[in-house]
């Protein structure tokens, strides 16, 4: 069974048909740059462009980098503030001309990893963190998602944690892997203190380079593993949501 998934990020908007039996992309994904400012109308145009690239007809799952409740986007940390309280399901559904399902981007990635990837079969408390333009989070208890946790906005040394420990912070400040890993470690210790997870799954594009920073993180008690679906997890999770899985 194939369903289309779109992942809206702070730097790129990417999508592809997903084979839900395998939990993998059915075709190579298509990506466009996120517009700046990332207003609802401009982002909707980009989503429509990604969908049109595949001439897709049928249900579409779409992730959003913020809190989503019943198809309405409630926060907008890394996109235009015009998204706050926007009926994204209506806007994007009208623009692509297909039925759409909207959910938080890290929640989508987490559901995909728990079903097909590094969290498969894991019980207890599992936290997926997506390190990218910001830090997304997905919290699971015995395989059940606690939606919209937004742990990237925990305060760390007087700042939003994502301002210090995201991949964007590493790039903007030109941090070495060691310096950045030290910041990520401080953040993980803070999250661990609050939730005591058995497992951290580290996702986002940087998960492809996990060998450069995960071995440098030593004080965290929980097991730490890179996301197996890497940066495709959001697309797969979006498609799963559209299929009601």
Is residue 58 very low, low, confident or very high in pLDDT (cuts 50, 70, 90)? Answer: very high
Q: Are 65 and 137 members of one domain?
A: no
Q: Is the pLDDT of residue 91 over 90?
A: yes
In a domain? residue 114: no
Q: Quote the DSSP letter at residue 32.
A: E
Is residue 123 very low, low, confident or very high in pLDDT (cuts 50, 70, 90)? Answer: very high
Phi-psi region of 13 (alpha: psi -120 to 50; beta: other; left: phi over 0): beta
Q: Are 100 and 128 members of one domain?
A: no
Q: Are 192 and 98 members of one domain?
A: no
Following DSSP, what letter does each residue of 167-227 receive, concatenated? HHHHHHTT--HHHHHHHHHHHHHHHHHHH--SEEEEESGGGGGHHHHGGG--S--SEEEE-
In a domain? residue 113: no
In a domain? residue 24: yes
Q: Are 128 and 60 members of one domain?
A: no
* Start-end of H helices in 100-160: 105-116
Beta bridge partners of 87: 72
Range of the domain at 154: 121-228
- Residues 6 or more apart in contact with residue 158 via CB below 8 angstroms: none
What percent of the chain is predicted at pLDDT more than 90?
A: 96
Q: Are 12 and 98 members of one domain?
A: yes
Q: Are 125 and 223 members of one domain?
A: yes
In a domain? residue 125: yes
Q: Are 131 and 47 members of one domain?
A: no
Phi-psi region of 109 (alpha: psi -120 to 50; beta: other; left: phi over 0): alpha
Q: Are 18 and 48 members of one domain?
A: yes
pLDDT in tens, 162-211: 999 999 999 999 999 999 999 999 999 999 999 999 999 999 989 999 99
In a domain? residue 26: yes
Q: What is the CATH number of the domain that holds 61?
A: 3.30.420.40
Q: Is the pLDDT of residue 157 over 90?
A: no
Neighbour count for residue 138 (Cβ, 10 Å): 31
pLDDT given for residue 16 in this prediction: 98
Is residue 25 very low, low, confident or very high in pLDDT (cuts 50, 70, 90)? Answer: very high
Q: Are 222 and 128 members of one domain?
A: yes
Give how many domains the chain has, as a whole number: 2
pLDDT in tens, 92-119: 999 999 999 999 999 999 999 999 999 9
């Amino acid at each position: 069974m194939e369903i289309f998934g779109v992942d809206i990020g702070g730097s790129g908007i990417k999508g592809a048909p997903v084979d839900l039996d395998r939990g993998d992309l059915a075709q190579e994904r298509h990506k466009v740059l996120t517009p700046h400012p990332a207003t609802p109308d401009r982002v909707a145009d980009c989503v429509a462009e990604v969908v049109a690239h595949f001439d897709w007809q049928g249900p579409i799952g779409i992730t959003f980098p913020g809190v989503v409740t019943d198809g309405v986007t409630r926060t907008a940390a890394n996109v235009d503030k015009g998204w706050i309280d926007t009926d994204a399901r209506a806007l994007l559904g009208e623009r692509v001309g297909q039925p759409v399902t909207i959910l938080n981007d890290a929640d989508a990635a987490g559901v995909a990893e728990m079903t097909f990837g590094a969290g498969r079969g894991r019980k207890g408390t599992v936290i997926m963190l997506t390190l990218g333009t910001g830090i997304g989070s997905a919290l699971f208890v015995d395989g059940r998602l606690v939606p919209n946790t937004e742990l990237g906005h925990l305060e760390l040394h007087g700042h939003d944690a994502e301002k210090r420990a995201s991949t964007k912070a590493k790039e903007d400040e030109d941090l070495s892997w060691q310096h950045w890993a030290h910041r990520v470690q401080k953040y993980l210790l803070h999250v661990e203190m609050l939730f005591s997870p058995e497992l951290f799954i580290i996702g986002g594009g940087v998960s492809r380079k996990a060998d450069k920073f995960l071995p440098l993180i030593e004080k965290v008690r929980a097991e730490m593993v890179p996301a197996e679906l890497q940066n495709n997890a959001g697309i797969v999770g979006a498609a799963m949501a559209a299929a009601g899985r």
